[in-house]
Amino acid sequence: MEKFQKLISTVVPLPLQDVDTDQIIPARFLKATTREGFGDNLFRDWRYDPEGKPNADFVLNQENVQGDILVAGKNFGCGSSREHAAWAIYDYGFKVVVSSFFADIFKNNALNNGLLPVQVSDAFLAKIFFIIQGNPSAQLEIDLENELITLQTTGESESFEINAYKRYCLQQGYDDIDFLISKKLEIQEFENATTI
């Protein structure tokens, strides 16, 4: 996993609620057996029409909106547990997703892939959308060490929460599996002692 410390970037706004993982990456693109390449089909059915032509209204197709931060409405990543959703977002080039609420499994999947989910208040989210609407080149700063998200144009900031363990993993580029493997002896003892 890549290390994450601090990021300053323009943002891509997606002001819709309940964006589910079937929209992020539709099931018919889940047939791959590797983790790479899912970014090409990120938001496939919103991004392209049935003939495969880019849909000019969709934000990923708008030249003037680009950035490493995706900002989306409440309850982002609900539905299917497919980790392919986190892979697709990361593979496309996003490093951070900001929303006022994340679905549980998506959040875990994102964190396991070095994609940082930043949960902000509804009010702060509305502010970001408002600012971006007026100024698509406005930037956000994400400071992981201090758990702070800042709107660069206005200087307004809000703190976000991430547990210390996960923060450490992101900063070090350390995976959960490394930690679990280090606990194998304890796990073996536990297994030997239980009956189920």
Partner 1 sequence: MGRTLFDKIWDSHVIHTIEDGPQVVYIDRHFIHEVTSPQAFAGLKKRGIGVFNTSKTIATADHNVPTKDQHLPIKDALSKHQVDTLIKNCEEFDVELYGLGHPYQGIVHVIGPELGITQPGMTIVCGDSHTSTHGAFGNIAFGIGTSEVEQVLATQCVLQRKPKTMKIQVDGALRKGVVSKDIILYVISQISTSGGTGYFVEFCGSAIESLSMEARMTICNMSIEMGARGGMIAPDEITFNYIKGRQFAPQGSVWDEKLTFWKTLKTDEGAVFDKEYYFDAAAIEPMITYGTNPGMGIGISEKVPADSDTVNATLKKALNYMDLEGGRQLLGKKIDYVFIGSCTNSRIEDLRMVADLVKGKQKADHVNAMIIPGSKQVEKQAVDEGIDKVLAAAGFELRQPGCSACLGMNEDKVPTGMYCVSTSNRNFEGRQGPGARTMLASPLTAAAAALTGYVTDVREMLN
57: left (phi over 0), alpha (psi -120 to 50) or beta: alpha
Among 23, 41, 119, 139, binds partner 1 (CB under 8 A): 23
Contact call for residue 130 and partner 1 (CB under 8 A): no
> From the CB of 152, what's the least distance to partner 1, in Å?
26
> From the CB of 84, what's the least distance to partner 1, in Å?
8
Which residues, 34 to 53, sit near partner 1 by CB under 8 A? 34-35, 45, 50
If residue 9 lies in a helix (H) or strand (E), which one and from where to where?
strand 6-14
Piece of 21-29, 51-59, 134-142, 144-152 that binds partner 1 (CB under 8 A): 21-29
**From CA 5, how far away is CA 183, in angstroms rounded?**
27
> From the CB of 83, what's the least distance to partner 1, in Å?
4
**From CA 127, how far away is CA 95, in angstroms rounded?**
21
Neighbour-count burial for 34-63, b at 16+ CB within 10 Å, e otherwise: eeeebeebbbbebbbeeeeeeeeeebbeee
Contact call for residue 127 and partner 1 (CB under 8 A): no
Quote the tokens at residue 137.
């080149």
Site track 98-117 with partner 1 (rule: CB under 8 A), x = hit: ---x-xxx--xx--xx----
Piece of 2-10, 56-64, 145-153, 158-166 that binds partner 1 (CB under 8 A): 158-166
Chain position carrying tokens 């900002």: 71
Neighbours of 108 (CB within 10 A): 18
> From the CB of 101, what's the least distance to partner 1, in Å?
6
Contact call for residue 3 and partner 1 (CB under 8 A): no
The HSE-up count of residue 35 (CA atoms within 13 Å, CB side) is 10
Site track 63-92 with partner 1 (rule: CB under 8 A), x = hit: ----------xxx--xxxxxxx-x------
**Closest C-alpha among 9, 13, 6, 7 to residue 128:** 13
Please report, as ranges, the residues that interact with partner 1 according to CB under 8 A.
Answer: 15-18, 20, 22-23, 26-28, 30-35, 45, 50, 73-75, 78-84, 86, 101, 103-105, 108-109, 112-113, 163-166, 175-177, 179-181, 183-184, 186-187, 190-191, 194, 196
